[in-house]
Amino acid sequence: MKHASDAILKRLRAFFIIYSAYFVIGYLCSVLIGKSGWAGTAMFHVLAASIAGAHLLYEVYAQFTLQRKKLWLSTVISFLAVVLVTSTALEYTGVYRSPYAVMIVVLTFLAGALSQYLAYGIGFIFLIGFLLSLAHVFTSSDGGPVAGLIFMIVEAAAAIGAHFFWSKRYTAGPGQDVEALSRSLKSSQAQSNIMLEAIADGVVLIDDQHIIRLFNPGATTVAGWKREEAIGLDWRSVFKFVNAKEAPLDEDATPFIKAFQQAEPIRDNTTSLLTKSNKPIALNITVSPLTDDNKRVTGVVGIFRDVSQERQEESQRAEFISTASHEMRTPVAAIEGYLSLALNDKVSTIDSRAREYLEKAHASTQHLGKLFQDLLTSAKAEDGRLSSHPVVIEVGGYLEQITQDLKFAAEKKGLAMEFTVGSSQTIDATSGAKVVRPLYYILADPDRLREVITNLFDNAVKYTDQGKVTIGLTGNEQVVQFYVRDTGPGIPAEDQPHLFQKFYRVDNSATRTIGGTGLGLFICRKIVEMYQGRIWVESQLDKGSTFFINFPRLSAQKAQQLQATEAKSTTLAPITSLTAS
């Protein structure tokens, strides 16, 4: 129910308390003075004073017991008590000719502050009285005309009170001032408009009908469309997304559709946009969904900016690194080859001290070769030149074989090595028989996947002094998840979000004593993302780390279809080659 602000309600309460106190004090004074006739029949009747006293006692009770949100209800009760006091006083002081008749007009006006309906209700009652006075129902006394005049005045007071309080200020609930709220909303909207106008990034709002509802100046600068042209159009008419080769993206692959379908923020730094003049520009775009109480997406907000220059500079850096790494690998490989020959007893004869020096040089050369290889791989991963030949992989058997190949490196350092599937070990402790494990299929390049697992395993062994390294596998109908877990020192929480960035290394005593390029995890992330996967880490200091990898799971039927296609293409390739020759 709508009513006036807390400030007005408190003022009304104060007025009602003073009014009731006036009757109580007046009656006590009349009794003390000893004018019983005046006290009994005139201005301060005992019944009116008694009701006023009861009202004051209620006010004392309400002050200490009622909560703030009950302010409106307690004020209504006070209002009714004052109306009852005034009605009783009217009865004993001449009714329509009573000086308290003015108070009826005042109370009717103030009723508008408590409720619009209350004011209209009182006005309706007095309207009926006014009509009855015109019908001379009160002709038994000479009060008919006066009563009619009072009824008309009271009716006007009710209308004026309702209009005054509801045209100026009202609230939608206890303790709220809508006029102040309206000013605040207008101020917030103005501030939002200023921010949207000022920022250089493009901002677009798209509703659930895929219609553009907001298009700021930054969006005009990036996309080349004027605001009045873009607003009201389907977003597909304005945002034409393309890939690095300027081929149009499938609609389901666009950031806006992904946000609508997945109901979660989408970040994309690989997509390009064709402007209104069909000029391709590189975009960095983030799309956030807007949802209602039922988690239904009602629209999306996109924030994007032109990163063409940054992407070009990054491409140039990657090209330089790629070229330099490729060129330097040749002399390094030659040096490594000559060192291997020098260490070969069948080729050369050297003393023990020279052998020690050559072994250290050979190890350093191998490390340098690994650095150049990582630089080359990272450069290819960034610009999409990383070779990939995805095939169907049954992850359980694949990981088990890799575990067998890697366990010697762990045992060499005194670490245990195990492979687990789900929550069970591969060997049933009761019967000693193999556990029937589910078949998890994914589509990936086995060599690239081995590179990821080997990199994670090498890190686990490198940073773990004692305990064990575990390679695990689990999943559900949609996802295949495997992980590499160690019992090492753990990774600080502040470093975990940056682990997969290029050249990032945790800066502590353990990492400073262990060499590394800072590219391994970056390459892992790039490879995993090639197959629509996700990689992340969970770690606690002194409790070890676990690196998780999720891949989309292929159903058994889909895997069989792809395997049949692979087998057919492998069979046809030699025949085609023979025919061509």
Residue-wise pLDDT tens digits, 340-372: 888 888 888 888 888 888 888 888 888 788 777
Q: Is the pLDDT of residue 312 over 50?
A: yes
Mean pLDDT, residues 265-279: 89
Of 343, 336, 338, 339, whose CA–CA distance to 371 is shortest? 336
Q: Is the pLDDT of residue 121 over 70?
A: no
CATH value at residue 222: 3.30.450.20
Residues 72 and 115 in one domain: yes
Residue 115, phi then psi, degrees to nearest 5? -165, 135
**535: Cβ contacts below 8 Å, ≥ 6 apart:** 452, 500, 524, 525, 528, 547, 548, 549, 550
In a domain, 282, yes or no: yes
Residues 254 and 113 in one domain: no
pLDDT band at 60 (very low <50, low <70, confident <90, very high): confident
Position 332 scores a pLDDT of 82
Neighbours of 456 (CB within 10 A): 26
In a domain, 421, yes or no: yes
Q: Is the pLDDT of residue 475 over 70?
A: yes
Residues 22 and 165 in one domain: yes
Mean pLDDT, residues 222-250: 90
Residues 280 and 171 in one domain: no
Q: Report d(CA 128, CA 124) in Å as an integer.
A: 6
Mean pLDDT, residues 86-112: 68
What total number of domains does the chain contain? 4
Residues 285 and 164 in one domain: no
Q: Which structure tokens are listed for 579?
A: 């025919």
Strand runs labelled E in 515-567? 534-540, 544-552
In a domain, 86, yes or no: yes
In a domain, 194, yes or no: no
Position 73 scores a pLDDT of 75
Burial class (CB in 10 A: 0-12, 13-18, 19+), 344: exposed
pLDDT digits over 486-502, tens only? 999 999 888 888 888 87
In a domain, 446, yes or no: yes
Question: What value, to the nearest 5°, has the Cα angle with vertex 482 and ends 478 and 483?
Answer: 145
pLDDT digits over 531-564, tens only? 989 999 999 888 899 999 999 999 989 989 988 8
Low-confidence winner among 87-96, 369-378, 448-457 (lowest mean pLDDT): 87-96
pLDDT digits over 149-185, tens only? 555 565 565 556 555 555 544 444 444 445 555 555 5
Residues 421 and 545 in one domain: yes
Higher pLDDT, 347 or 248: 248
Q: By residue range, what is the domain housing residue 531?
A: 391-560
Q: Is the pLDDT of residue 480 over 90?
A: yes
CATH value at residue 368: 1.10.287
pLDDT digits over 391-409, tens only? 999 999 999 999 998 988 8
Residues 327 and 301 in one domain: no
Q: Which structure tokens are listed for 394?
A: 């049954």
Mean pLDDT, residues 10-17: 80
Residues 459 and 433 in one domain: yes
Residues 316 and 291 in one domain: no
Mean pLDDT, residues 219-237: 92
Residues 133 and 224 in one domain: no
Residues 411 and 555 in one domain: yes
Position 170 scores a pLDDT of 44
Q: Is the pLDDT of residue 424 over 90?
A: no
Q: Is the pLDDT of residue 517 over 90?
A: no
Position 164 scores a pLDDT of 59
